[in-house]
Structure 1
Amino acid sequence: MSDKIVEKDASTAAPSYDAAAVQHGALPTRNGSVERRGTLQRGPFFLDIPVLNQLRGKRCILASQSPRRKQILAPLGLNFEVTPSKKPENLSKEDLGPLQYVLKTAEQKCLDVYELALENSMKSIPDPSLVISADTIIVTNSGRILEKPRSQADHIAMLKMLRDQKSHKVNTAVVVLAPREDARDPGYNFETSVEETKVFFDESVSDELIEAYVRTREGVDKAGGYGLQGMGSLLVEKIEGSSDNVVGLPLRVTLGLIEKAVLNTGDEEDEAGDADDE
């Protein structure tokens, strides 16, 4: 075996550390050292892994209008178009329970947007290569599912309840759909996961702070009525689990689902089935 190192093409190879430091906002000084200059901040380079490289330039859809989810996905370097589902979220919480409710809701969103994209596809617009949907719910210790606050009074009462019961769970369901190249039914790969994070509110948070937070209106569009990534962190003592799961999309889990849906076409299952038939 040859010991020769094969270098990547200069256009795709990662830059040297000095060059990367410059592009992150650091400028070389007269003595060759690096000086930070925040005004030139450009951000990190995208992940160079097969599944993301395969999807670059392809049509990818985020079936959610949440700007937080789109921001979480940004490091993957895919150009997501945002197409929220218009299907009403009217599944029965009582019949399904929290975990099945959040999963079925996310599945419904994903399939609705995928089917709509296929119906609206034209010659100049390719079929989607990836669709991602998600749904996040807050679950109290008694198993009650909290929605977005309906009014200021409801918002205040919701946050006081979460404070007084100390902890609650945040469940996010992620669904990833990728079309299959063969014609095997149903024509796509479908991968799902439901992640859970436990959030502890600070019991010493005053009513005045809760009321002041509600007046900022930061939490009006969020299940449970608070945003961990913003001023809502003032209400939280600690979390157990993924923080981006609380924000609305667990990125590590989502990347794993993308890899399964896009790269695993089911060939191994087909081969196993053929072997059983022999």
Structure 2
Amino acid sequence: MSAQLIPVEPPPSYEDARKSPIPDSKSPSATPGARKPPPGPPPPLDVPYLNDLRRQRVVLASASPRRRQLLAQIGLYKIDICPSKFAEDLPYSLGALNYVLETASAKAMDVYKREIDNHEKGEPAIIISADTIIVSHDGRILEKPRGEVDHLNMLKMLRDQGEHKVMTAVAVMRPLESAVEPGYKMETHVEETTVKFDSNVSDELILAYVRTRDGNDKAGGYGIQTAGSILIERIEGSYDNVVGLPLRATLRLIEKVMEPEEDLDEELDNVFDGKAYED
């Protein structure tokens, strides 16, 4: 195994967790006279609003390394990590969808209030926040495991119940230069993916996985992109949603909030003129 693939840091404790190759010129598929791509990683997506953001301050209201890695996949490499201090203590009685959506929105608002007048770093261009929960087959909301016993019982329950849902709410907020209330534009989305555990996974294998501590800091207690994949038989929906950030939906939200403010003013004028209510 290459040294680059070996984790440089040990998995977190439960307490810490809570706080394609270039074708060969001789290959039949190679195009005669075609120029080989330059060495190194592929260039970032050449999209106007992403190109603008790469020159500005993009704030991620999360300490999740997985979300940062996913944003890098769309070319947002320079991310300012400003974890939200929101307590995440909303009542589960809200229901799964409202719970995860209001939590993600509150995270964005918390960071917005703290960073909007940051004289050292400057005002954020956008703030991206997210919250991921697991909803068991019987409707229970699961977040990060509290300890080894809780972790073990959580994974056994998910196996025994068969399918469960992963829900991630994403909120993207952009401060506005105009004085239009409330001073920002925010777009939100909730992505849902169905995950089915392998019913034949043994208690011993689950315990072995728990002791790797790989799932300590993950909702539901497992990571699909790491060793937790051994527990999973199949998924229906977005893979990166299970990882922690649905990229396709996040890209749409970014595009929406990056619309020029004159377009926003026109939308408001239409509302005030009553045009927005016309068929």
Q: What is the aligned partner in structure 2 of residue 256 from structure 1?
A: 252
Q: What is the aligned partner in structure 2 of residue 241 from structure 1?
A: 237
Q: What is the aligned partner in structure 2 of residue 187 from structure 1?
A: 183
Distance 2:81 2:126 in 1: 12
CA shift in 2, pair 1:204/1:264, >3 Å:
farther
Distance 2:40 2:251 in 1: 23
- Bigger Cα displacement from structure 2, 166-175 vs 177-186: 177-186
CA shift in 2, pair 1:275/1:126, >3 Å:
same
- SS of 1:245's equivalent in the other structure is helix
Q: What is the aligned partner in structure 2 of residue 56 from structure 1?
A: 54
Q: Scaled by the length of structure 1, what TM-score is found?
A: 0.83
Mind listing any 5+ residue stretches in structure 2 that lack a counterpart? Answer: 1-19, 27-31
| 2:132 is aligned with 1:98 | no
Distance 1:151 1:108 in 2: 27
Distance 2:159 2:211 in 1: 17
Distance 2:62 2:24 in 1: 39
- SS of 1:263's equivalent in the other structure is coil
Match of 1:218 among 202, 209, 214: 214
Distance 2:133 2:160 in 1: 19
Distance 2:164 2:25 in 1: 49
Give 1:41 deviation, angstroms.
6.2
Q: What is the aligned partner in structure 2 of residue 267 from structure 1?
A: 265
Distance 1:244 1:73 in 2: 11
Give 1:89 deviation, angstroms.
1.1
Q: CA deviation digits over 1:7-54, x for unaligned, max 9?
A: xxxxxxxxxxxxxx9xx777878xx899x9xxx962211111111112
Q: What is the aligned partner in structure 2 of residue 71 from structure 1?
A: 69
- Bigger Cα displacement from structure 2, 267-276 vs 152-161: 267-276
Distance 1:207 1:99 in 2: 31
Number of equivalences:
247
Give 1:262 deviation, angstroms.
1.1
Distance 2:196 2:150 in 1: 20
Instruction: Name the Cα RMSD after superposition.
Output: 2.3
Please tell me the residue identity of whatever aligns with 2:98. Answer: Q
Mind listing any 5+ residue stretches in structure 1 that lack a counterpart? Answer: 1-20
Distance 2:267 2:33 in 1: 55
- SS of 2:192's equivalent in the other structure is strand
Distance 1:275 1:154 in 2: 56
- SS of 2:220's equivalent in the other structure is coil
5 Å matches for 1:142-157? 142-157=138-153
Give 1:76 deviation, angstroms.
2.3
Give 1:264 deviation, angstroms.
5.4
Give 1:273 deviation, angstroms.
3.2
Native 8 Å contact 2:137 2:162 kept in 1:
no
Native 8 Å contact 1:25 1:41 kept in 2:
no
| 2:157 is aligned with 1:161 | yes
Distance 2:33 2:205 in 1: 46
Runs of 4+ residues deviating >6 angstroms: 24-29
